[in-house]
Amino acid sequence: MKDSSIQWTDHTFNPWIGCTRVSPGCQNCYAEGGYGRRFGIEWGPGKPRRRTTADYWKQALAWDRQAARKGVIPRVFCGSLCDWLDPDVPPEWRRDLLELIGRTPNLGWMLLSKRPQLWRRLVGQAAKSGGAFAARWLAGEAPHNAWAGTTVEDQRRAEGRIPRLLEIPAARRFLSCEPLLGPIAPDLGGVDLVIGGGESGKRARPLDIRWARDLRDRCRDAGVAFFMKQCGSNPVESGRPLEMKDDHGGDPDEWPEDLRVREMPGAFRTPARVKTAKGQ
């Protein structure tokens, strides 16, 4: 059933493609450099985003039917090539996305954004444009099948974004600390899952393994699930490069043994083909 190469999700869904860089985590945005360039989609404020096709959207309905038949709850990462809280998107697109989430109760939507502070305004616009799902959410009804998540690449983003994430009514919340750009000490109250990872690509900034270890320990102490996704293309430890054959540092067998942690909170199963640490 899993068809996404991203280890912590089963499927990825992009309601549209395009975005604007907002913080240091965006510096080497692979969506802009890859898909954007390939399909001639310009990133930036005021640039038109490209909505994906109606046939593509129908895939989510098919995943939902399949999940209902199998009695599982696959995770769907929404927005690997966009940000679902992008203010440059017409309100009707976000309304339609939220309606789709309402029509797929057997999926676990992972809504990741670098703009959690815009949730109220943009979901409010979606509600005004006729979205029943948006209106219920805005009224405080947390959707049972959607997680709210935000990216936290450094301490400044931890302090700025996590409090705004916590204002979003949500059954579950998660942090994506990828690319992790420095040591962080996030307040994990109200958070269910933390994903850690280093940056990929030729220009990848270093991930010091000690930052990931520290994050893992903070999660353990707070009773929060920790999922180490990858060490990235430039892992170091105490200033020394760590050699890994996998381009993204994504093979747990090449990691220091104590970092091979891929936990998920209850209610969402671990994707069947995720490679887990030996002995876990």
Distance CA 241, CA 207 (A): 10
Distance in Å, CB of 83 to ligand SF4, minimum: 4
Q: How far apart are the first and last CA of the chain?
A: 22
Q: Is residue 35 within 8 Å of 48, Cβ to Cβ?
A: no
In the complex with ligand SF4, which residue's Cβ is closer, 125 or 150?
150
**Cα–chain center distance at 229:** 11
Q: Does 21 bind ligand SF4 (CB under 6 A)?
A: yes
- Among residues 95 and 157, whose Cβ is nearest to ligand SF4? 157
108, 268 Cβ separation under 8 angstroms: yes
Beta-sheet strand order (sheet of 235-237): 207-208, 235-237, 240-241
Task: Give CA–CA dist 274/8, Å, rounded.
Answer: 8
Binding part of the chain for ligand SF4, among 17-25, 196-204, 217-225, 271-279 by CB under 6 A, reads 17-25
The Cα–Cα gap between 199 and 93 comes to: 30
Q: Does 29 bind ligand SF4 (CB under 6 A)?
A: yes
Determine which residue in the list 7, 8, 9, 31 makes contact with ligand SF4, applying CB under 6 A: 31
Closest contact distance (angstroms) between CB of 197 and ligand SF4 is 13
Q: How many residues bind ligand SF4 (CB under 6 A)?
A: 10
Taking contact as CB under 6 A, which single stretch among the options 14-22, 155-163, 170-178, 258-266 is the one that binds ligand SF4? 14-22
Residue closer to ligand SF4 by CB (options 122, 224) is: 122
Decide if residue 111 touches ligand SF4 (CB under 6 A).
Answer: no
Confirm or reject binding of residue 78 to ligand SF4 (CB under 6 A): no
Please identify which residue in 49, 75, 94, 114 interacts with ligand SF4, judged by CB under 6 A. 114
* Residue 232 C-beta: closest distance to ligand SF4, Å: 15
β partners of residue 147: 110, 172
DSSP 8-state assignment for residue 35: I
Query: Given the structure tokens 């302090």, which residue do they identify?
Result: 159
By residue count, the chain amounts to 280
Residue choice 10, 83, 96, 153 for contact with ligand SF4 (CB under 6 A): 83
The distance of closest approach from Cβ of residue 22 to ligand SF4 in the complex, given in angstroms and rounded to an integer, is 6
**CA nearest 4: which of 76, 92, 110, 108?**
76
Q: Contact region for ligand SF4 (CB under 6 A) — 18-26, 142-150, 200-208, 234-242?
A: 18-26
Question: Strand 172-177 and strand 146-151: pairing?
Answer: parallel
Q: Rounded to the nearest whole angstrom, what is the least distance from the CB of residue 30 to ligand SF4 in the complex?
A: 8
- Choose, by CB under 6 A, the member of 19, 110, 193, 204 that binds ligand SF4: 19
Taking the C-alpha atoms of residue 229 and residue 177, their distance in angstroms, rounded to an integer, is: 10
d(CA 217, CA 196): 12
* Closer residue to ligand SF4, CB minimum distance, 29 or 236: 29
* Preceding amide of 271 cis, omega within 30: no
Q: Stretches 20-28, 53-61, 125-133, 196-204: which one binds ligand SF4 (CB under 6 A)?
A: 20-28
Positions in the binding site for ligand SF4 (CB under 6 A): 19, 21-22, 26, 29, 31-32, 82-83, 114
